[in-house]
Amino acid sequence: MCWSTEFCAEHLASTEIWRQFSALGVLIDLWSYHAQAAVFRKSLRCWTETTFLYRTDFFSLKVLTLRGIREFFVIAFLHLGSRKVFVTKATEHPTAAWVQAQAEAFAESLPATRLQAKIAFHDRDTKFGREFDDTLRSYGIEVRRSPIIAPNVCAHVERWIQSIQTECLNHFMALGEKHFNYLVSSYVNFYLKHRPHQGLDNKPLDGAEPDDDVPSLTSVRSQSWLGGLLQSYSRKAA
């Protein structure tokens, strides 16, 4: 018997979250769970966000074309847990049909990355139209929009956009759409496979882990991209 409406609601919510943990293979004593329900709710929320959540946003670049300077747009999808990123091809006209095609391309790229997407978060940019959201939902991805006046909701993907701008795009004058796509794809490849990440003890996201011992200077190999702007160092093969 429930002593109050509040107690009953809390009991039902706690039991449902316990069931979600059980479905994930995490076995927790039910009585211990009710005693620390708030802790487990926070743990489940954090685990869900880092495992299944993507944050997405537009960014653009002024590109020199035969018709003068034009602004081209791309969409970046950032997986919150792994920090891996998927970036679309560029377009001068981000129409409803284009954003729908990019949503399909993102969803179809997921099996190759071995990552799951259950939630996609984006801001209230009008370029994210109904077609974009409906396409993601058709792949089983829940779409959420950022609350009004909440600038930090998409901070992770915005920080990544700042990285590609300061480390790559700000150093070039893109000469046409193909050149812009080349710059973006080169940086994304470097970011995923070679760029050291401080949160991973300076290891790359997809690349091989370095040896623990310090190599001699004669056994270090240097690789460069985009005319030497991006650099990576690794041990030479024996």
| Alpha-carbon gap, residue 31 to 19, rounded angstroms | 13
Mean pLDDT of 160-167: 94
Domain 51-199 matching CATH 3.30.230.10: the answer reads no
DSSP per position, 102-152: HHHHHHHHHHHHT---SEEEE---TTS-HHHHHHHHHTT-EEEEPPTT-TT
pLDDT at 136 over 90: yes
The residue that leads in pLDDT, 57 or 113, is 57
Percentage of residues in the chain with pLDDT exceeding 90?
Answer: 45
**What's the token pair of residue 10?**
């809390």
- pLDDT-derived band at 150, boundaries 50, 70, 90: confident
Q: 């909701």: which residue's tokens?
A: 153
pLDDT at 109 over 90: yes
Of 166, 224, 162, the C-alpha closest to 195 is: 224
| Alpha-carbon gap, residue 25 to 19, rounded angstroms | 10
Give the domain ranges of the chain.
Answer: 5-35, 51-199, 201-235
pLDDT at 2 over 50: no
- The least confident of 10-14, 138-142, 149-153 is 10-14
Kindly report, residue by residue over 30-89, the tens digit of the pLDDT: 545 454 555 555 555 555 556 788 999 999 999 999 999 999 999 999 998 888 999 999
Q: Which amino acid is at 225?
A: W
Of 70, 74, 82, 45, the C-alpha closest to 57 is: 74
- pLDDT-derived band at 212, boundaries 50, 70, 90: low
pLDDT confidence of residue 52: 83
**What is the four-CA torsion angle of 34, 36, 39, 40, rounded to 10 degrees?**
-40
pLDDT at 123 over 80: yes
Of 93, 156, 96, 151, the C-alpha closest to 124 is: 151
Q: Taking a C-beta distance cutoff of 8 angstroms, is the pair 141, 107 a contact?
A: yes
> Treating both helix axes as pointing N-terminal to C-terminal, what angle do 177-193 and 155-167 enclose, rounded to 10 degrees?
110
Mean pLDDT of 195-222: 66
pLDDT confidence of residue 114: 84
Mean pLDDT of 199-212: 67
